[in-house]
Structure 1
Amino acid sequence: MYQVKDDEKIFIYTGPDGSGRKTLAKMVATVFDMETVISYTTRSRRHYEVDGKDYHFVSEEAFQTMHQQNEFLESVDIDGFHYGIREKDIIDTFKDHKLVYLALNPEGADKLKHMYGENVIRIFIYADRDTVIKRQQERQDDAAAIRRHIKHYDETMNYLNVCEHAFENYDLPQVSYQISELVESYLNRDYIESEY
């Protein structure tokens, strides 16, 4: 297993589907030299997703081959779909960046926390049930997918108190700013806040 160095950090965004965790993660990453590691999944691509940018969409056979070759650092099965993070992708990302971010479900976040301890900072992003349903409808998720996500809502919300930090996503720019300040607090550098 890759040994994360002291100055390397993995920020994991987790929370209910539709909470805006990926959007916030991307916004915060633009402020820092922070790169993402993209998961592999066997589920179908949603109409607004891009292969290689949102996920690596692969067949069940391809996923199982990678799994058998021990390529995955962690993998989970959710509602019959597989998700996994390749260890090689984390190693390659750390060659050029000290900060890495991932958007994971609680199970994946938990696995990486146990592997890398204090170098992993879990940021729980949430919104109330009605808001996440509305957001999923606005991005035109189909009704079956929304029902599947909402089935996990309460269980996912229970993970909030396990994470190091939690933010209610009520306003993207405001919450993005708050998370940026949080990330800054983890960096070993002199930082002077200016009033100007």
Structure 2
Amino acid sequence: MYNIKEKEQIFIYTGPDGSGRKTIAKMVATSFDMETVLSYTTRSPRHYEKDGEDYYFINEAQFKKMEQNHEFLECVKIDGFYYGIREQDIVNAFKKHQLVYLTLNPEGTEKLKRMYGDQVTRLFIYADKDTVYNRLKARQESDEDIKRHMNHYQENMNYKNQCEHVFENFDLPQVSYQVSEVIEAFLERNLIITD
């Protein structure tokens, strides 16, 4: 397991799918010297997703091989698909940046929190059920995917009270600003200067 150095920090965006976690994460990262680490997954890309930009899309045999080689820091199985964060990707990100961010489901988030404790800050982003449903529809998700996401909505919401920071995403710029303030406070406390 990679040992995070004193001033290194992982920020994890978690919460229900369709809450805008990735959009907020990308908006906030532009203000700080932060790099994202992508998950590997065995599910197929959705029509708006790109390999190497949203996830690394691989087949199950490749995933299993990586797992056997102990390449993953954490991995989970959700609805028959595997997701994992490759340890080397975290190592590479920390070579260039002191702040790294991930977008994970609560199960993966909790695994990393147990591993790294205070060096992981959880940012829970959510929207009410109707808003999430409408966003998934607007994204032109398949009915099957929407049903899958909605089935996990309450289970994901149950993780809210365990996170250090919680934001309801009713206004993207506003929430991005609030998240930026959290990161700003962390930087000031740890006297890290980013460009």
Using the size of structure 2 for normalisation, the TM-score is 0.96
Kindly tell me the number of residue pairs found equivalent between the two proteins: 191
Quote the Cα distance in structure 1 between the aligned partners of 2:165 and 2:181.
12
Deviation string 1:137-165 (CA, Å, 9 cap, x unpaired) is 10100000000010011110000000001
User: SS state of the match for residue 181, structure 1?
Assistant: helix
Task: Tell me which residue corresponds to 2:40.
Answer: 40
Deviation string 1:60-94 (CA, Å, 9 cap, x unpaired) is 11001101111000000000000000000000100
Identity, % of aligned positions: 65
CA RMSD between the two structures: 1.0
Gaps of 5+ in 2: none
Cα–Cα, structure 1 residues 190 and 142, in superposed 2: closer, same or farther, change >3 Å?
closer
**What amino acid is the match of 1:126?**
Y
Task: Tell me which residue corresponds to 1:18.
Answer: 18
Shift of 1:190: 8.3
Q: Which residue, 180, 188, 191 being the options, matches 1:189? A: 191
Runs of 4+ deviating beyond 6 Å:
none
Using the size of structure 1 for normalisation, the TM-score is 0.96
Shift of 1:189: 2.5
**What amino acid is the match of 1:189?**
L
Cα–Cα, structure 1 residues 92 and 145, in superposed 2: closer, same or farther, change >3 Å?
same
Quote the Cα distance in structure 1 between the aligned partners of 2:167 and 2:6.
26
Gaps of 5+ in 1: 192-196
Quote the Cα distance in structure 2 between the aligned partners of 1:190 and 1:74.
27
**What amino acid is the match of 1:115?**
M
Task: Tell me which residue corresponds to 2:54.
Answer: 54
